[in-house]
């Protein structure tokens, strides 16, 4: 009983070695758990970075190693004493060491995958630039099958780099880049000109060209020019948007002209005058709104020229007025600046004057204080003289009396 009691006593020096060993195991287990958690985070990040797509074999091996590490860890997760147990019937390594080896293997493959991705991006930089651009303009939405085909082609090049056939991948890159650029042009054209193309096709199918052939031809040429511009520079989005607006404008204009021609063809000779008067009313309304002279006594084209002349002269007057206002504003601004400068100088002078007054006041006070001090000192001297004189007189009187 005595021996048993000593052996089981937790407060015994004989247990310190075992306690130290247990603490060491706990530290190792904790370090392993943190390593597994870190590995899980790497896996999540690798998915975001498409590492599996770039380095398929390496990522598969890394994931396999991580699974093994977790299996070994599960053996002693709830019973730390099993950390040092053999990892298998024919294994000479224990569970925790086997788990750590698997984690190391995981890290090695993840490093290889990251390095491989960097090599791929460097070797195939141009094709990946186009891949990024195609994702940015969402080519997948417009041409999903084509995007998938190009992804497959790119994957082949990536695998070539992974298999140490970088030179072959680089040699095949221009062909893929040409396809990617063509898809970019096709996508941008679909985004910005598909509506215009549909509108023009609708007018052509409606046989609008017979009523407004010149206008339809102009609209078609505008669409062709915009399409050519996209083919030359598909990333000049601002300019492409402007050209797309111009195409829509041309198409809408052609449609309105065609409608006007149809209406004109349908007018009976007796209604010609009323038709012309309707246009005359429009010109008169513009003249009245602008305050221009009524020039219905002129031909329609002359009325239009008169309106243009009036507007140009009005704009000139307006420009002169604007320039005058700007000049007045400038002069007012300069005047305000001058006033502000004067106020600043006056403020500075006032401050200096206050300093001078304060200095004079301090000097005067000091002088008065010195005068008073001198007078006090003189009074003290006079009092001393009078005291001495009185004392001498008193002495003399005493001597005379004796």
pLDDT tens digits along 229-253 = 999 999 999 999 999 999 999 999 9
pLDDT band for 398, please (50, 70, 90 cuts).
low
Please tell me the predicted confidence (pLDDT) of residue 4. 37
Give the tens place of pLDDT for each residue, 258-285. 999 999 899 998 988 898 899 889 989 9
pTM of the model: 0.66
pLDDT for 3? 34
| Sequence-distant (≥ 6) Cβ neighbours of residue 63 within 8 angstroms | 43, 106
Q: With 70 as the cut, is the pLDDT of residue 10 above it?
A: no
pLDDT score for 402: 56
Mean pLDDT calculated for residue range 312-316: 86
% pLDDT > 90, the chain: 51
Q: Residue 300 above 70 pLDDT?
A: yes
**CB neighbours (10 Å) of residue 192?**
20
What mean pLDDT value characterizes the chain?
Answer: 86
What lies within 8 Å, CB to CB, of 213 at 6+ separation is none
CA 195 remoteness from chain centre: 30
- Over residues 203-232, mean pLDDT: 94
What pLDDT score was predicted for residue 1?
Answer: 27
Q: Using pLDDT thresholds of 50, 70 and 90, give the confidence band for residue 328.
A: confident
Q: How high is the pLDDT of residue 321?
A: 74
Report the pLDDT value the prediction gives residue 165, as an integer from 0 to 100. 95
pLDDT for 391: 64
Q: What percent of the chain has pLDDT over 70?
A: 86
Question: Picking from 170-184, 215-229, 352-366, which range would have the lowest pLDDT averaged per residue?
Answer: 352-366
Assess whether pLDDT exceeds 90 at residue 19. no
Mean pLDDT within 59-76? 93
């Amino acid at each position: 009983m005595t021996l048993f009691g000593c052996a089981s006593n937790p407060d015994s020096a004989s247990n310190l070695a075992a306690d130290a060993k247990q603490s060491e195991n706990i530290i190792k287990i904790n370090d392993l758990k943190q390593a597994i958690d870190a590995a899980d985070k790497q896996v999540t990040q690798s998915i975001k970075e498409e590492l599996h797509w770039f380095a398929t074999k390496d990522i598969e091996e890394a994931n396999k190693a991580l699974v093994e590490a977790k299996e070994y860890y599960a053996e002693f997760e709830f019973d730390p004493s099993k950390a040092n147990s053999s990892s298998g019937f024919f294994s000479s390594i224990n569970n925790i060491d086997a788990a750590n080896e698997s984690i190391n293997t995981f890290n090695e493959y993840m490093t290889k995958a990251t390095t491989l991705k960097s090599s791929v991006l460097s070797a195939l930089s141009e094709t990946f630039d186009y891949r990024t651009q195609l994702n940015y303009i969402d080519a997948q939405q417009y041409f999903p099958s084509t995007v998938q085909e190009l992804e497959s082609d790119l994957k082949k090049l990536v695998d070539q780099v992974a298999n140490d056939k970088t030179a072959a991948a680089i040699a095949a890159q221009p062909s893929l880049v040409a396809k990617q650029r063509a898809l970019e042009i096709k996508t941008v054209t679909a985004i910005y000109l598909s509506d215009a193309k549909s509108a023009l096709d609708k007018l052509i199918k409606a046989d609008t060209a017979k009523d407004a052939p010149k206008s339809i031809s102009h609209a078609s040429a505008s669409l062709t020019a915009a399409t050519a511009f996209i083919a030359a520079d598909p990333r000049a989005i601002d300019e492409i948007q402007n050209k797309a607006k111009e195409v829509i404008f041309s198409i809408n204009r052609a449609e309105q002209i065609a409608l006007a021609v149809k209406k004109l063809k349908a007018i009976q000779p007796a209604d010609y005058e009323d038709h012309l008067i309707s246009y005359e009313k429009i010109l008169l309304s513009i003249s009245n709104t602008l305050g221009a002279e009524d020039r219905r006594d002129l031909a329609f084209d002359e009325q239009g020229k008169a309106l243009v002349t009036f507007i140009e002269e009005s704009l000139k007057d307006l420009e002169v007025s604007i320039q005058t206002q700007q000049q007045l504003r400038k002069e007012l601004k300069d005047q305000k600046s001058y006033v502000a400068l004067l106020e600043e100088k006056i403020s500075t002078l006032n401050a200096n004057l206050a300093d001078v007054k304060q200095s004079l006041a301090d000097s005067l006070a000091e002088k008065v204080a010195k005068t008073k001090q001198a007078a006090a000192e003189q009074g003290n001297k006079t009092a001393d003289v009078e005291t001495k004189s009185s004392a001498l007189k008193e002495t003399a009187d005493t001597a005379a009396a004796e």
